[in-house]
Amino acid sequence: MSFLSFLVPTTAALPQLLAETASFPSDAPIDQLASWLGPNDLPYSLPIHPNLVHFTIGLFVISVAFDIAGALYPIEKRVFRFLALPITRTGFHDVGWYNLLACAIVSFFTVAAGFFEMLLAVPIAGVTSTIGLQSMETMLWHGVGGVLILLSIIAMTVWRGYQRFLWRRDLGRQVQWLYLLVGLGLFLVIGLHGTLGAELAGEFGVHITADQLLSSGADLNVALP
């Protein structure tokens, strides 16, 4: 069952190769952990941060999308009646609230895992990304940006909570137009931020076993059959 091999750290298969071809300078602080890390510079084969990111992005985007659907309810209700799909305005706003709440909770872990894995990152040297940044710049923007986005998500959740439980509790449209506008603005910020993260993987090869092996001069036919 090769697809279950994530249970076994990739280190097991390649200790010798790792020892011969470590891709970071020998005086780097990360070297203190070298014996603990696999060829992907992590103590496990599949990084955690990119998987938690699915939840941060998916939940935030769908939360705002359903609040927009709730806000435009008077316009779209005929469409849903035509589709024989019963809807309630409260239902749409419930999706907006609970998805955002889940997003706020999970995003602390997304950022924590991100920092753990970024501290262990060894980007491939001499690469400039598609948008023209080098690896350290990309990591600084992605790290600081990640904390600021977490802060924004928490602020949005508090704002959303005040609207739901206090300011607009007796109103059909549970959110202010300004809230939705800020939410759409954050889509752009998150999109750009995600691009930086994707470049850290796809261009700088951070935590990708095959890329790290290649940059250390290994033959993938042998090292990763």
Partner 1 sequence: MQQLLPTLNDHNLPWMDTIHPIVVHFVIAMAVISVIFDLIGVVMRRPNLFEVSFWNLLFATTAIFVAIIFGQVEAGLADPYGASRSILNLHSTLGWSLAGVLSLLTGWRYVLRNRDPQSLPMTFLAADGVLALLVVIQVTLGNQLIWVYGLHTVPVVAAGRAGLI
Q: Is 207 in the site for partner 1 (CB under 8 A)?
A: yes
Got the DSSP string for 142-201? HHHHHHHHHHHHHHHHHHHHHIIIIITTTSSS-S-HHHHHHHHHHHHHHHHHHHHHHHHH
Q: Report the half-sphere exposure of 50 (CA within 13 A, side-chain side).
A: 14
Selected from 5, 19, 81, 144, the binder of partner 1 by CB under 8 A is 5
11 binds partner 1 (CB under 8 A): no
What is the residue type of 60? F
DSSP 63-83: HHHHHHHHHTHHHHHHHHHHT
Interface with partner 1 (CB under 8 A), residue from 92, 142, 146, 196? 92
Q: For residues 75 and 64, what is the distance between their CA atoms, to the nearest angstrom?
A: 17
Q: Does 189 contact partner 1 by CB under 8 A?
A: no
Contact 204, 40 (CB under 8 A): no
Distances (CA, A) of 37 to 55, 119, 197: 27, 13, 21
Does 113 contact partner 1 by CB under 8 A? no
Q: Which is nearer to partner 1, 35 or 88 (CB)?
A: 88
Q: Does 41 bind partner 1 (CB under 8 A)?
A: no
Distance CA 148, CA 143 (A): 9
Q: Measured between alpha carbons, how far is 138 from 218 in angstroms, rounded to an integer?
A: 26
**Contact call for residue 215 and partner 1 (CB under 8 A):** yes
Using rule CB under 8 A, residue 47 touches partner 1:
yes
Residue selected from 72, 113, 182, 224 as contacting partner 1 according to rule CB under 8 A: 224
Q: Which stretch binds partner 1 (CB under 8 A): 22-30, 124-132, 151-159, 175-183?
A: 124-132
Q: Applying CB under 8 A, does 3 fall inside the site for partner 1? A: yes
| 219 is a contact residue toward partner 1 (CB under 8 A) | yes
Residue ranges in contact with partner 1 by CB under 8 A = 2-6, 10, 40, 45-47, 50-51, 53-55, 57-59, 61-62, 66, 85-86, 88, 90-92, 94-95, 98-99, 102, 124, 127, 130, 194-195, 198-199, 201-203, 205, 207-211, 214-215, 219-221, 224-225
